[in-house]
Amino acid sequence: MPPDPSTLHGGSLLLAWQLKDKHVLIVGGGDVASGRIESVLVADAHITLIVPRSGLHPLTQHFLTAAPDRITHHDRVFAGPQDLDGVDMVLTAIDDVEASRHICALCRERRIPVNVADVPPSCDFYFGSQIRSGPLQVMISTNGRSPKLANVIRRRIEACIPEHAADAIERVGELRTKLKERAPGVGGEVGKRRMRWMVDICSSWDMEDLAMLDDKMMARLLDEGWEKNQVPKLEDVGGKRERAADRSATQASSVLPTVLGFAAGAACTALVFLARRP
């Protein structure tokens, strides 16, 4: 059933913002700023950090020391509009609410996306609780209602992400690239066929099997699968499952109590009968 638009409201638009080779200005160097630096480094941005040296959190200092080529530090407070020249995004995390509002206003005049920590009306976007595992990124947002519960839910989600997810995503990404080289073209019939075949592979193979794909197996998968428009199995392209042992180990955990219970019951009953023997 199509969604009822009256139920669609009150949320955010969750996005994966692209910052490769972009310039991000971070104002402030405390605990919150250090988290921002980490998130922005993940996205391959150049960072300009404006904060007096006295306000540097140890983790912020660590990033400055460990990545001097990726972060330019100015040992001072925000000086004015000139600090926004060439900047693509601004994140402030300072205690001075008035200064933050001023920076926000300057950004809005210039249409620079801005986030002022802890001042929602001065934010074009919020951060959520995040998980990162190689190419996989997950964000949990409670739309500002409870950052703590977002963290609780993050931990639950972390525990149920398939073990081999990151490797599987990496390998499938490589397979897609190789497939596009073999059958190039944007959109159209070939694009649709590529997408269908990739979906078939990802639906038929386990995450663990996908994670095992190497260059040789990918070449065979394209030869035997794509070219013949079929979906081979892992074994058909030279892969080998190694999971029989793991699987029986998992099953054992439910079989074990039954077996132990049986043995204990048998032993107790035997003792009763033996004790009663004349």
Question: Element (H or E) spanning 99, and its range?
Answer: helix 97-110
Q: How far is the CB of 127 from its own copies (least distance, A)?
A: 7
Question: Element (H or E) spanning 89, and its range?
Answer: strand 89-92
Phi/psi of residue 116, nearest 5 degrees: -105, 110
Q: How far is the CB of 216 from its own copies (least distance, A)?
A: 20
Q: 253-263 in b/e burial notation, b at 16+ Cβ within 10 A?
A: eeeeeeeeeee
Site of tokens 């000139």:
82
Please state, in angstroms and rounded to a whole number, the distance separating the CA atoms of residues 259 and 225.
45
Q: CA-CA distances (angstroms) from residue 64 to 37, 55, 59? A: 10, 13, 9
> Of 138 and 183, which has the nearer Cβ to its own copies?
138
Extract the tokens encoding 13: 């638009």
CA neighbor of 210 nearest in space, from 184, 242, 234:
234
Non-local (6+) Cβ contacts of 237 within 8 A are 217, 220, 221, 224, 225
Annotated active-site residue 124? The verdict is no
> Of 44 and 235, which has the nearer Cβ to its own copies?
44
Extract the tokens encoding 262: 């049986």
Please state, in angstroms and rounded to a whole number, the distance separating the CA atoms of residues 231 and 198.
9
> Of 41 and 237, which has the nearer Cβ to its own copies?
41
25 pairs with which residues across the strands? 48, 90
When computed from its CA atoms, the radius of gyration of the chain, rounded to whole angstroms, is 28
- Which of the residues 118, 215, 223, 246 is marked catalytic? 118
> Of 110 and 247, which has the nearer Cβ to its own copies?
110
> Of 31 and 235, which has the nearer Cβ to its own copies?
31
Give the CA-trace dihedral at 62, 65, 69, 75, to 10 degrees: 90
The set of catalytic residues is 118
